[in-house]
Structure 1
Amino acid sequence: MTVQLCVLLWARPGAAAALAAYEDKVLSLLGEHGGRVVQRARADGREGRPDEIQLIEFATQDGYDGFMADGRRTALANERDAAVARTDLYPVELSRA
């Protein structure tokens, strides 16, 4: 079963560039787990808005679980914690236009 997610990310104050750099690193691992970025957008983070929005799709739940457990991703936890203040993750159903 396909796993489709909307990810909203808020940077720590002054860390928007660090958030983007961290996400560049971890999102590069998606393909090895049957995942892909459908869309990635940056926002301004003002007035409670997120700094980054992602739509991500995995071919299977096992692929998603493998990505989450990937040691290369988890090894970046300190980098993530320094850059990312908040993450909201929602399962979604992506429409094909």
Structure 2
Amino acid sequence: MTVRLCCLLWARPGAAEALAAYEDKVLALLGEHDGRLLQRARTDGDDGRPDEIQLIEFASQAGYDGFMADERRTALAGEREAAVARTDLYPVELVGQ
């Protein structure tokens, strides 16, 4: 079963570029787990808005689980902690296709 997620990310103060750099690294791993980035957008982060919004799709729950457990991703935990203040993740279904 396909897993589709909306990921909202807030940067720590002054760390929007670091958040983007971290995400560049981890999103590059998606394909190895039957995942793909459907859309990635950035905001100005003002007024409590997330700094980055992503729509991600995995071919299966196993692909998502593999991505989350990928040692290359987990090895970047310190970089993530320094850059990312908050992450909200929602399962979604695409409409209007």
Normalising by the smaller structure, the TM-score range is over 0.9
Matching residue's letter, 2:87: T
Q: Tell me, what secondary structure is at the counterpart of 1:63?
A: helix
Aligned length: 97
Residue in 2 that maps onto 1:47: 47
Residue in 2 that maps onto 1:82: 82
User: Where does structure 1 lack aligned partners over 5 or more consecutive residues?
Assistant: none
Change over 3 Å in CA distance of 1:96–1:67 after alignment to 2: farther
In 2, Cα distance between equivalents of 1:25 and 1:94 = 25
Matched, 1:94 2:94: yes
User: Where does structure 2 lack aligned partners over 5 or more consecutive residues?
Assistant: none
Matches within 5 A, 1:1-97: 1-95=1-95, 97=97
Residue deviations 1:25-67 (CA, integer Å, cap 9, x gap): 0000000000000000000110000000000000000000000
Identity %: 81
Pairwise CA RMSD: 0.7
In 1, Cα distance between equivalents of 2:7 and 2:46 = 17
Instruction: Report how far residue 95 of structure 1 moved.
Output: 2.5
